[in-house]
Chains A and B, each alone.
Chain A
Amino acid sequence: MEEEVMTEKRPIISAGGGPRREGAARKTLPMPVRYAINAVVVLVLLVLGELMIDGGAINRYQSTVLEQVGIYIILAVSLNIATGYLGQLPLGHAGFMSMGAYGCSIFIIRMSEALGVGARDFVTGTPMALVLVLGGLVVGGVCAAVAGIVIGIPALRLKGDYLAIITLAFAEIIRVVMLNIDDVVGFDLTGGAAGLTGIPGYSSFLLVFGCVAVVCFLTHTMMKSRHGRAILAIRDNEIAAEASGVNTTYYKTLAFVVSAFFAGVAGGLYAGCVGVLQPAVFGFMKSIEILVMVVLGGMGSMLGSALSATVLTILPEALRAFSEYRMIAYAIVLILVMIFRPQGLLGSYDFSLSRIIERVMNRDFPWARRAEKDEPAAKEVSADA
């Protein structure tokens, strides 16, 4: 029975998708093996990266850029949950990011004062500091998730553009609050316009990409579960989903809150990477920047989000000399992609290592398929093309 289910594995977002070829002879990998293979690959990549940093093959500046890449991957993947999978258009992702960044760094600063953990401990990575950082990231995520619930419940009653504008409004409110909260509470909490300083530099390659792996894994498993299918159903047709018994309010809020939580975690990592937080950084432009990554990569494709986040973070660094043209290029690319390829560069294609291994196991290669294409029975090409 288990095997039967396994043969039905396909890219999460393929809408419908015809039946697999008849004949249960297709070899598949059992689920634990799939997870094991992916876990090993991720671990090897992490260790490899860390070794290269330690060995000096990647210098300090490059590793900081790498950390930024990881942070933007988390942001893009998390926004993709709300945009690509749920089909809404939140324009306030930077608001969640700032909630997470402030929540995480204030928690870490206050707690390290109370527990006597020095800034050096974060660099060397004592167990206490590590616990604090992980705790801080969770606190940041929870702050953002709470903001997500507060925003989501009124926002998700509205549709499309109204939702976009109300999330934008909330993100602006968050920014104004961060800017002026000190005068209200009467002591230094966020540091206002001058910024929050004294954040220990706790973000490292391992921490950031460990978080990337965890976020991608959790997103992937969620989207493959029945909860994920409910979310996709809402995207495809909300009325039909509701008629089929999907609790649309619940699942919309769930996707929204998960998206916010991950953005908060990314915010926490961002704080540890740059060391200073200013409310102005988390303006409307930041939200748009993240949205561009998702749209460009392909709404609904995790690989697309990750790839375009990588390219769009590294490219400006490489093109520092032309920084004023970069924004114009951004805008033009965005418009052109929408006109000529509205589904994004990768569409909803997603990468799956296990799928490739299975193909090899079954000797099911693209060139072999092309020969088969003439036969009417070979339907599967369309799904993976």
Chain B
Amino acid sequence: MFFTQVLNGLQLGSIYALVALGYTMVYGIILLLNFAHGDIIMVGAYVSWLVMAQLGLPPVLAIILSVAACTLMGVLIDKVAYAPLRNAPRLSILITAIGVSYFLENGAQLVFGADAKVVPAYTELTTVQLGGLSLSFPSILTVLVTVVATVALTVVVQKTKLGKAMRAVSEDMGAARLMGINVNTTISFTFAVGSALAGIGAVLYAMAYTQANPTMGMMLGTKAFVAAVLGGIGSIPGAVVGGLLVGFAEVFVTAIGLSVWKDAVVFLLLIIVLVVRPTGIFGRTMNEKV
């Protein structure tokens, strides 16, 4: 019982962490709170449903196409909606992001209808026996995938040339441009990586909750953002820790029988952390230049 709950917390937390990583990366590089990020997950879940339930293709293809669709979506949104506003006031970009999110949700509602679609199971294996414990296979898979994705992301950011460019742009866009870094490519790459992670998150989410609906991205996205802020926005380990924290908090509140309050608890957690540490757990304090 206890292990099941811990595993549930890990699973939910891992999904939040993957989504939070996308928020953190985009925020780190262009200081944009990408409201549409949660809705990218919704798109990914619908693609999975389309491929498996409508076209009857194998799950592997569904996973690949979901991740690819999310990646493309993220880059496209950046090019169409955010790129023209690169030098506009922050408020304008933020409201554009809200507009994009609104557009995706209502577009999905128009195309697929308001009711939830059932995403078929990706795998037939539901439980694994481990030393007398019967553990849910999707949960274990979720945790493993998240660990691999986080490690891969860290390697990309720390070791590759593009990762170096990303860090440079997030530190000082103007100076990075002067050093010969192609800022626009770097930003696109960031959106691509963040959205690909969201795509993986979408598959894992659909695996856990087996459904897709137009507004699923909103709560998931908001909570993942909470996770990113909790951990300290802009920080990769922060996003993971924040995601796990939010996941565990939710599972714990549900386990003690107060599931109707779980949203309130998560948001309360955010408020408390922000009041005590305005930059989050792993956040750096930034000095404001006058």
Contacts and interface: CB of A to CB of B under 8 A. Distances in A.
Contacts of B274: 154, 158, 162, 166
A327 B106 contact: yes
B33 A165 contact: yes
Contacts of B222: 168, 172, 284
Interface string A261-278: 000000000000000000
B278 interface: yes
Interface stretch (B46-54, B84-92, B198-206, B239-247): B84-92
B137 interface: no
Contacts of B260: 176, 179-180
A339 B260 CA distance: 40
Contact of A338 (B95, B110, B267): B95
Contacts of A44: none
A334 B98 contact: yes
Given A165-B225, A327-B106, A328-B110, A338 B92 contact: yes
Contacts of A51: none
A166 B88 CA distance: 23
A288 B264 contact: no
B95 A324 contact: no
Contacts of B218: 284
Interface residues on B, range: 35 or more
Contact of B267 (A172, A328, A339): A172
A166 B275 CA distance: 10
B102 A327 contact: yes
A87 B92 CA distance: 12
A6 interface: no
Interface string B215-243: 00010001001100100000000000000
A165 B226 contact: yes
A104 B122 CA distance: 51
Given A291-B95, A342-B88, A335 B103 contact: yes
B20 interface: no
B100 interface: yes
A162 B91 CA distance: 12
B278 A330 contact: no
A34 B262 CA distance: 54
Interface string A355-382: 0000000000000000000000000000
A333 to B, nearest CB: 8
Given A173-B264, A176-B263, A338-B99, A89 B81 contact: no
B217 to A, nearest CB: 12
B89 A161 contact: no
A177 B264 contact: yes
A331 interface: yes
B263 A288 contact: no
Nearest to A183: B260
A295 B96 CA distance: 11
A160 B90 contact: yes
Given A154-B274, A166-B274, A325-B110, A334 B84 contact: no
Contacts of B33: 161, 164-165
Q: Which of B27, B90, B96 has the most CB of A within 10 A?
A: B96
A173 B102 contact: no
B175 interface: no
A239 interface: yes
Contacts of A334: 95-96, 98-99, 102
A157 interface: yes
B107 A328 contact: yes
A342 B94 contact: no
B100 A166 contact: no
A266 B33 CA distance: 29
Contacts of A291: 95, 98
A179 B95 CA distance: 28
A299 to B, nearest CB: 8
Nearest to B80: A335
A164 B31 CA distance: 14
Q: Which of A166, A177, A339 has the most CB of B within 10 A?
A: A339
Interface string B246-263: 000000000000001101
A239 B288 contact: yes
Given A158-B278, A324-B110, A165 B270 contact: yes
Interface in B8-58: 27, 31, 33
A295 B98 CA distance: 12
Contacts of A288: 98, 102
Q: Which of A169, A176, A239, A284 has the most CB of B within 10 A?
A: A169
B264 A89 contact: no
A114 to B, nearest CB: 31
A331 B98 CA distance: 8
A128 interface: no
A237 to B, nearest CB: 9
Q: Which of B102, B103, B271 has the most CB of A within 10 A?
A: B102
B290 interface: yes
Contacts of A57: none
B267 A324 contact: no
B109 interface: yes
Contacts of A338: 85, 88, 92-93, 95-96, 99
A170 interface: yes
A358 B103 CA distance: 45
Given A165-B225, A239-B290, 8 more contacts: A87-B91, A166-B270, A288-B98, A334-B95, A334-B96, A338-B93, A339-B85, A342-B89
Across the A-B interface, the 4 shortest Cβ-Cβ residue pairs? A331-B103, A334-B99, A169-B267, A327-B106
5 contacts: A154-B275, A173-B264, A284-B218, A295-B95, A331-B99
Interface of B: 27, 31, 33, 81, 84-85, 88-96, 98-100, 102-103, 105-107, 109-110, 218, 222, 225-226, 229, 260-261, 263-264, 267-268, 270-271, 274-275, 278, 288, 290
Interface of A: 87, 89, 154, 157-158, 160-162, 164-166, 168-170, 172-173, 176-177, 179-180, 239, 284, 288, 291, 295, 299, 324-325, 327-328, 330-332, 334-335, 338-339, 342
